[in-house]
Each structure stands twice: as C-alpha cells, then as structure tokens.
Amino acid sequence: KGRGISKATAETLKMSNNKNVLAFNYYQDGKIVNSKYRKLEEKFMWQHAGGKQVLYNIDNLKSQEQIILVEGEFDVAAIVEVGFLNCGSVSQGAPNAGSEVSTKLSCLDNSADVIKDAKRVIIFTDEDKNGWYLEKILIERFGADRCAIVRVPEELVNKKTDKICKDANEVLIEYGPEVLKDLILKAVDTPISGVRTVRQVEGQ
C-alpha cells in the first residue's frame, strides 16, 4: 500500500510474501526461473544463486508491438498499476555508469527472442547517472529509430526530499496514477541525427 500498488496488481505479477519478505517471482513460459527478494522493513534485496537472468514480467512482453522497459520490479508494478501490462525490468538493476555490462545485463540477451520484434520501446529509467547509462545502452541495443524516452519533469518533486521524483514508482506515490500514465503516453521519440519524425515536430 505504501508503494501505491494494489492487491490486484500484485496478483497479476504473481508476487508473494512470507515472513515480511516480498518475492518478485520471475516467470518464463509460465514457470518460475528466478526469484528476487526484498525485506519489507528495510532496503535489503537478494536473489537465488544460479537463477536464470531474464527480464521481469517477460511473459507479458510476448508479441507486443510496444514494450516499456524500466530499472526495477517496483517500477514495473507501478506501470502495471496504471494500465500498462507490457512492462518489464532488467533483473540486476542499472549498471554503474561507464562500466562493462555484459554480465549485468545478461537478462537482455536471454530475453532477446521475446522482445526483438517490438516496434516501439519506451524507456523509463531512474533519474540518476546509472539510470541514464542504462538508457543509453538500451537505445544502442534497440536502435534510436524505435525508442522513446520518459523524462520526469522538474516540477514533479518528492515532497519529503524536495528533489525530482527518481522513478515511476515515486511518481505514482507522490502524484497518483493519472500523472504517471500521462508521462508514459507522452514519451518522446529518441532523436536521430539529421532525421525528425512527425511526432517530434507536431507542435510546429
């Protein structure tokens, strides 16, 4: 409840809970291939050693012309909460800015057959250096011609910290589902050098 996630969304994503530990279960073709755990009372996460690294919520990305990619499981839950089931996240968070990413983002390689034919990829990473680095890598992987970016506007600040909301879940908590949904619907196409789409210049 504190995260703005309903029971219906938790059940849709097949989350589970035991002894104040929340489990994000990674399903592929209907079978659990990995689980990631988070204590409810403190920010502490871990996952099974040897679990398969795939995108979280991968089964709901199949055969989708448009997909949304985010940085964490709570962000997936937030976006599903506002009506977009076609959302997945990387399994090990964003890599450190400038680092080598082959192992950290192996979930993309292991999910390639499912997501390779998506015609539009909306990218909504955290508003920090690591999030922007992940955004850059995803654009390189998918190609700028089919990527769109969600940016949290400066006026959407966390009322406790007075800093810009850092991710989708924080926007949901602070400003509600309609504001988060509107951000996704207004994702901006990635600019390509020398090329403009109709969407990019429609205001002119």
User: What is the model's pLDDT at position 157?
Assistant: 96
Answer yes or no: is pLDDT of 200 > 70.
Answer: no
pLDDT tens string 29-48: 999 999 999 998 888 999 88
Distances in Å between the alpha carbon of 117 and those of 41, 99, 121, 137, 201? Answer: 40, 27, 10, 18, 26
Distance CA 96, CA 104 (A): 9
Q: How confident is the model at residue 191 (pLDDT cuts 50, 70, 90)?
A: confident
Q: Phi/psi zone of residue 70: left (φ > 0), alpha (ψ -120 to 50 degrees), beta?
A: beta
Give the 3-state secondary structure of 110-157. HCHHHHCCCCEEEEECCCCHHHHHHHHHHHHHHCHHHEEECCCCCCCE
pTM: 0.91
- Contact yes or no for 125/131 (Cβ under 8 A): yes
Tens-place pLDDT, residues 134-184: 999 999 999 999 999 999 999 999 999 999 999 999 999 999 999 999 999
Over pLDDT 70: what percentage of the chain? 96
Strand partners, 47: 36
Predicted pLDDT of residue 197: 66
Given a cut of 80, is residue 201 above it in pLDDT?
A: no
